A and B are shown apart, each in its own frame.
Chain A
């Protein structure tokens, strides 16, 4: 039997006290526990991003005289784009992203290299990782840039791209651009994808492949090619250290039968830039069912119209009477001279306005527009507010319409 707690037996009676050893063990363990708690506390309370935020304060006070460092963002910053179910905390460290005047600062404090991109892509609607990749949740550089196990969308930086071409790294972020811009023929700022789209058209890829719902059936449907997981590719014929989907596509575009023995896809002798561009395009073709349609440029949703209606609509919007359509005058007034038909016809045809205004208000059209009475007074003051130039333009166009109808009626009388 392994000893009594006090370990000593003297003449049959045992010491009835807790041994010093046991009390020391309790004390030692308590101290160890407290030390571990302090370690945990320190680990939690001194995160990496606090350093970057402090440095940003210095950088800003150095370069801007009128900025009070106290108003700078502090604590975890995040962009939550609820429509995309996306949280990006990149701006916790990348504090200068939307600041003008920090172009020369180092990462992570520098201004975005293309500040104008935020005009069309406001950060609060797009976040960061939708375009750049990376792990938006994370708050340490290593995790956030996403070159970690089990994070499949790392930062699409030149660092990642230089693995493929150190001198001329492919602009991998265009893969992300084209997730939304895929239906556009060509898009500003996406040279590689634009070139690839041109190749898809000129080489006739759709003869054999369905892309975006239309094409031939000889090859596989490529509409959702970008969603295919790395595990779904056969790398056995790829002689390379880089077992990546991107590399697979590049090599496959350069020589399809080498990568997929027996493939009947023709070799097109693509240059490496072209093969890279095509690989990026293929990887950008992802299922966009969950993407809110506001994010897809060029997608217009409107009621179905007959060809005649489309034609008429076009003529009304671009013809001589476009002014009255644009200013919504046509809601109440037809202008028969310009073939504009009001859906309501609440007011008189503006083609006869000079006679009409003279008869009812004893004014010229110009006088009436600058000094209207009745219903038109209310409308021109609140609903359709015109500048003086626009009033002259309206007068001019009404007179033109008047001439047209006058000529027409004279013609009719002659015949």
Chain B
């Protein structure tokens, strides 16, 4: 075979398509999905690290790491109550790189939960859920998709939590599903539907397995693609609204002599000068290839390197095999639910049902409650917004710490020893106080500033710090019997067999 023949065969193997005409080549590019991943040009503002911190990209890369490691794990894991735990032991001890797969999958899962929260914080704080005045985009819809993705990520993590079938898994899911059971009237039925029975067993394991490996990842992947496609359709990151504003204020270029092509032929005259705010020019943008692609490559490599590095250092714990007879003390839900578990300690109905429902609803409604269109894509909108963020942060710190102190030092039942009614304590407890304090804060800031954005910033910052404080308390400061322990206080020693 001649050299040309080999070359031809090779080309047929890697890229068999040969367009017959320029038109066919052009429409081929138009029809190509990969070439449409990124726009032709990308705004310098979008490209800057500070405007997005690339948190969405990082989250998606982590999701891909999870998908790849997860598929390999599916070949090695047996979803049966007899075998699940032992297959994890085999992964840890006997299977080549099994330990790495499991650690990488676990650390990436925790990273992904943390990253979607951080990404949401970024999108809120830069006001990127707003549609913009110049070109009305559907960013509010994309925010709602994003909140749905957050919920899906939590569900994925929660379903995956059960699979190792150790004490940690068994009791975290017990606690987690008990929170669901505290919903009045339908709670117990919901819990039975989730578990496939009254206690966690084989029906639960197979349900969680199928949800974790098939249904939820497919749903999340589909929604994530929609989420990212919408960014293209909405004209890029929200920060490009600033480019549009600038384009509007720019002096139109002076008309110059030119030739225009009309239906009848070449016509002389001046060019039509249009200030097109959506068009990026030479000064404020760069071609996506290579500027954006190299950036994405860098972020992808960094994300994988950090996950791998963490996986080499952080061990994936595996406790004793699941045992319904022995309840560990304390039994804790996965870390991102420990803020809720802390509040469930005050009132299951308030902390486990009303507050999470209000939080999810509140998050989804943000773009529809705050419709001001200034400072889109800019952190905290402006200097006043930054001040309100600090105020909200401090207010959240004080109120949350106060409510925690109240819960720890003076539980409601000791303040009102004479009252038996559960409904009373569901209504009057530190979690309700916190809810009330945050709602009050929103309306007070709204009244003072007449700005929904400032009120939202203040409340959201208070929410962030409350989430962090409550989660930290539930994770690190609660010991056996859910008693409070400072970080420097040792927990009572655990008895052992021998």
| Chain A residues packing against B (C-beta within 8 Å) | 1-5, 12-14, 16, 18, 22-23, 25-26, 29-30, 32-33, 36-37, 39-40, 43-44, 76, 78, 85, 87, 89, 137-140, 143, 150-154, 156, 160, 172, 229-233, 235, 243-246, 248, 283
Contact = CB atoms under 8 A, between A and B. Distances in A.
A36 B309 contact: yes
Nearest to B493: A243
B368 interface: no
Contacts of B189: none
Interface in B272-325: 282-283, 286-287, 290-291, 294-295, 297-298, 301-302, 304-305, 308-309, 311-312, 317-320, 323, 325
Contact of A246 (B47, B86, B327, B497): B497
Contacts of B287: 16
A95 to B, nearest CB: 17
Nearest to B50: A2
Given A85-B82, A137-B94, A152-B320, A244 B496 contact: yes
Contacts of A153: 497
Contacts of A150: 166-167, 317-320
Closest 3 CB pairs of A and B: A2-B50, A230-B495, A243-B495
Contacts, number: 130
Interface of B: 44-45, 47-51, 82, 86, 89-90, 92-94, 96-97, 99-100, 166-167, 242, 282-283, 286-287, 290-291, 294-295, 297-298, 301-302, 304-305, 308-309, 311-312, 317-320, 323, 325-329, 493-498
B94 A139 contact: yes
Contacts of A76: 94
Contacts of A78: 94
Contacts of A2: 48-51
Contacts of A18: 290-291, 294
B89 to A, nearest CB: 4
Given A33-B301, A40-B308, A139-B93, A4 B498 contact: no
A151 B96 CA distance: 22
Nearest to A232: B326
B93 A1 contact: no
A152 B50 CA distance: 50
B86 A87 contact: yes
Given A26-B298, A36-B309, A246-B497, 15 more contacts: A1-B44, A5-B291, A22-B294, A26-B294, A29-B298, A33-B301, A39-B312, A40-B311, A44-B97, A150-B318, A152-B497, A230-B497, A231-B326, A243-B495, A244-B497
Contacts of A151: 320
Contacts of A230: 494-497
Nearest to A144: B93
Contacts of B318: 150
B308 A29 contact: no
Given A18-B294, A231-B329, A283 B82 contact: no
Nearest to B291: A5
A29 B305 contact: yes
Contacts of B320: 150-152
Nearest to B309: A36
Nearest to B378: A1
**Counting chain B CB atoms within 10 Å of each CB, which of A3, A5, A16 scores highest?**
A5
Contacts of B302: 29
A140 B94 CA distance: 10
Contacts of A143: 93
B312 A172 contact: no
**By CB atoms of chain B within 10 A, which of A3, A16, A29, A235 has the most?**
A29
A235 B282 CA distance: 77
Contacts of A16: 286-287
A140 B99 CA distance: 13
A26 B47 contact: no
A152 B304 CA distance: 36
A170 B333 CA distance: 40
Given A1-B48, A2-B50, A25-B298, A89 B495 contact: no
Contact of A229 (B94, B282, B325): B325
